[in-house]
Structure 1
Amino acid sequence: MDEVGEPRGETLDASDAETLGTSDAVRQYFGGSYDKVAQFAALLLEQGELRGLIGPREVPRIWERHILNSAAVVPYLPSSGSVADIGSGAGLPGIVIAIMRPDVEVLLVEPMERRTVWLSEVATTLGLGNIQVKRGRAEEFHGAFEADAVTSRAVAALSKLVRMSMPLVRPGGEMVILKGRNVALEIEPARKALRSFRAGEPEILEGVTVPGVEATTILRVRRGK
C-alpha cells in the first residue's frame, strides 16, 4: 500500500479503532448501509490476513484506515451510472462503493485470481447485485468498456494511473482517486498524460467521514469530450 491513509496528525489508537465500527458516529454516517458495511468489515477481520488481503498490523485499523478511508470517496462519485474500481484488491474502495451506491453498477477490476475469487464471494455473501468482477489489468480492458467514473486506491503514481484509468472513463466522465497527502507533487509529471485525454485541471479534495478519523485526500479530474 502507498501513503493512502497515512496519518496527518492525531488519530485514534488501536484500542479506539477496535470499537470504532460499532460507534454511534459510524452507524449514523453509514445509515441504511451500515449493516452490510459492518458485515464486509467482519469478513475482512476474519479472512483478510489469512487470504493475504491485508497485513497483520492493519487488522485493528480496519475501520479507520480502510472502511472509512474508502467511504470518503463516495460523495464525489455519481449516484447512478457506472463506476470502475481499478486494482480492487480486497474490495477497497469498490465493495464499500457498491454497498453505499446500490443504484450504481460497480466494476471491480483486479488481475489476481485469488482476489477476484474473494471479490465474487463477498458480492454473493452480501447480496450485491450491482457488482461485476473483471479479472485482468486495467490496460486489458481499454476499449472494452467506459465508466462514468473510475476510482482506485494505492495503485500507482498519477502519471501512470492516468494512462491506466483514463481510457476507461467515458468522455465527460471523471477519474476520482484516493491518494496520499503529497498528491499535489504528482500533478506536474502527469501533465502530458492528462493533455492526451484533454483532461481538465485536477482538483484536490478532502474526504471527511466521522470525528476523530483523519480526512482522506482525493484527486478528481474530468476527461475531455
Structure 2
Amino acid sequence: MRPGRESLESILRRCGIHLERAQLDRIWTYHGMLREANARLNLTRIHNFENMVLKHYVDSLLVLKFVPLPSPLIDMGSGPGLPGIPLKIASPDTHVILSEPRGARVSFLGEVCERLGLDGVEVYPHKLGPDYPGTVQGVISRAVAEIPETLDRVAACLAPGGRMLFMKGPECDDEIARAGREHAGLFRLEADHAYEIPGTEHRRRLVVYERLDGEAPGRRGRTEPEPAFRGPAREVSSESNPSFRLFRDLLAGRGIRKHGQAIVAGNRIIGEVLVRYPGRAIGWISPESGPPPPETASSLTWFRLAPPLYREIDVAGTNSPLLLVEAPPLPAWSDEDEWPEGCTLFIPFQDPENVGAVIRSAAAFGASRVVLLREAAHPFHPRSSRAAGTALFQVPLLQGPSIHDLASAGVPLIALDTSGPELSESPWPPRFGLVVGLEGPGLPEPLRGGPRRRIAIRPDVESLNAATAAAVALHAIATQRRAE
C-alpha cells in the first residue's frame, strides 16, 4: 500500500477505528515525525508503512475497544510515544504522562507534543518506579517487562482502585500465574482480553489489574514526596525545539511584537502577576531541576529547559523560574481620540530599563496613560518588564509616532527641558501631554519651541537621568493635583 494520509485512514477504518479529521491529521503528522527522527534516534525497527500503522497505531488504539482509559494515565517506558501519543490523540480528555528516561527520546516527545498542540500531556523524564512523586489512576505498559516485575515497580505510584494495563503477546500465562502468587495482596486480575489485530495474524492480549488497598513496599519508611505536577509539561533540550526558538525570539522587541508574548523575570513580580493578572499568564519556564508551577497555576504549560538553554533565556541571571505572558499589540495613539483627564506621558527611551522604570513611576503617580514613541524599547522587553513589574498591567500603554513627528492640535504638549518655568511654578492643564526627550540628544527643535517645564537642580550637576527626570515630574504633577 502506498504511504499517505488516505492510506492511513483506510487501514484504521478497516480495523474498526474511526477518528475525526483533526485526529487523523495529528496521527499522520506524528507518523511523519517518527519516520524523520528514526534514522538518528532508532525509535522503531519497523519501516514498512502498513506494518507501522498496524503494529504501532492500530495496536495502541485497540486498547480503547476493551477498557475506558483511567486518568491520569502513565505510559510506562513510552519510547517514541507508544501507546501514549495515539491514545492521547484519540482520547483528548485523558491526562497522559509519558515516562521515558532516555534524553534524546524525551526531547523527541516534547517536540511531538508541541507540534501536535496536545494539551493535558506531560513528559516525565525518568524511569518509572517507587520514587515517582504522587499517585495516578492508571499505568499502561507495552511490552516493557514481565508482569510481576512491573507490578513491583508501579505499586507505589498507583492509587487504590487504579488500573495497571499490560499490552502483551499471546504467551503470558506464566507471568499471570506468578503475579497471582506474588502480588495477591496488592493487585487483583480484573480482565484478560485476547484478540487479533484485524486483517492480520498478530495475536495480542490486554491484561488489566486493579490496585487494591494496602501500603506498597516501596512506600514504607520514606517521606511522601510532593505531589507531581498534573498540568501540561514540555521537555526542551534542543536549540531546534520550537519552544526554545520562541523564547529566544522574545528576548528582543521584534520577537515580542511578532508573537504577542513576553517573558517576565523575578519571583516577586511573577507572584504578583499570578495573583492579580492570572489571565495574562501562559507558561512556566524553569531548568529541568527547577520547581513546578504553584498549585494555583496548574493550568500553565511547564517548559523544562536543559540548563544551557535556560541560562541563555534567563538574561537577568535570576536562576529562578520565568513566566511566559501575553503581550498583545499596543493600541495606536491618535490626537483625534478623546484625551483623558490628567497627564498623558510620551516616552522615546531606547534603554529598556528606563522604559520599565518610567512605566512604574507612571503607575505610582497616577498618569492617565503612557504612549511609547517609535524610538522607545518595547515595554515587555525582559529588562523593561523586570524594571516595571506589574505596572505593565496597571497603566494603559499605547504606541505613538516618532518623537520628531509628535504634534497635537488641541491639547498642549509640554516638554520636559532644562529651560522654561519650574515644574510647580504654574498649574498643569486639565488634559495635557508630558514629553521627555531621548537619552542624550534630548528634544527635537519643534518641541523646544512649545510649552516647557524644567526641574530645578544644582548648577554644578549637568542633568538627570531621563527616567529619573520623568519620575520627578510625575511626582510634582501628582502633588499639585492632590493640593488642588
Shift of 1:59: 1.1
TM, length-normalised to structure 2: 0.40
Output one character per residue of 1:95-130: Cα deviation in whole Å (capped at 9) or x when no partner.
111111100110111111111111111000111112
* Paired residue secondary structure (1:50): helix
Match of 2:179 among 190, 211, 215: 190
Shift of 1:137: 1.1
1:163 aligns with 2:152: yes
Which residue does 1:203 correspond to in 2?
191
1:99 aligns with 2:77: no
CA distance in 1, matches of 2:74, 2:93: 14
1:24 aligns with 2:10: yes
Query: Does structure 2 conserve the Cα–Cα contact (< 8 Å) formed by 1:64 and 1:213?
Result: no
CA 201–65 in structure 1, closer or farther in 2 if over 3 Å, else same: same
Which residue does 1:216 correspond to in 2?
204
- My pick for the range that moved more, 101-110 or 23-32, is 23-32
Match of 2:68 among 59, 78, 83: 78
For the pair shown, the structure with the greater C-alpha radius of gyration is: 2
* Paired residue secondary structure (2:161): strand
Match of 1:145 among 134, 138, 149: 134
Query: Does structure 1 conserve the Cα–Cα contact (< 8 Å) formed by 2:83 and 2:142?
Result: yes
Q: How does 1:14-93 map to 2 (within 5 A)?
A: 16=1, 21-27=7-13, 29-32=17-20, 33-55=23-45, 58-60=46-48, 61-78=51-68, 81-93=71-83
RMSD of the TM alignment (CA)? 2.4
CA distance in 2, matches of 1:42, 1:23: 15
Query: Does structure 1 conserve the Cα–Cα contact (< 8 Å) formed by 2:196 and 2:203?
Result: yes
Q: How does 1:89-128 map to 2 (within 5 A)?
A: 89-128=79-118
CA 77–132 in structure 1, closer or farther in 2 if over 3 Å, else same: farther
Q: Percent identity?
A: 24
**Which residue identity does 2:10 align to in structure 1?**
D
Shift of 1:85: 0.7
State the number of aligned residues: 206
Shift of 1:167: 2.2
- My pick for the range that moved more, 18-27 or 41-50, is 18-27
CA distance in 1, matches of 2:167, 2:182: 19
Query: Does structure 2 conserve the Cα–Cα contact (< 8 Å) formed by 1:85 and 1:93?
Result: yes
Match of 1:175 among 147, 164, 167: 164
CA distance in 2, matches of 1:164, 1:224: 15
CA 113–25 in structure 1, closer or farther in 2 if over 3 Å, else same: closer
CA 147–190 in structure 1, closer or farther in 2 if over 3 Å, else same: same
Q: Which has the higher helix share?
A: 1
Output one character per residue of 1:48-103: Cα deviation in whole Å (capped at 9) or x when no partner.
24311112xx0112111111111122334535631111101010001111111100
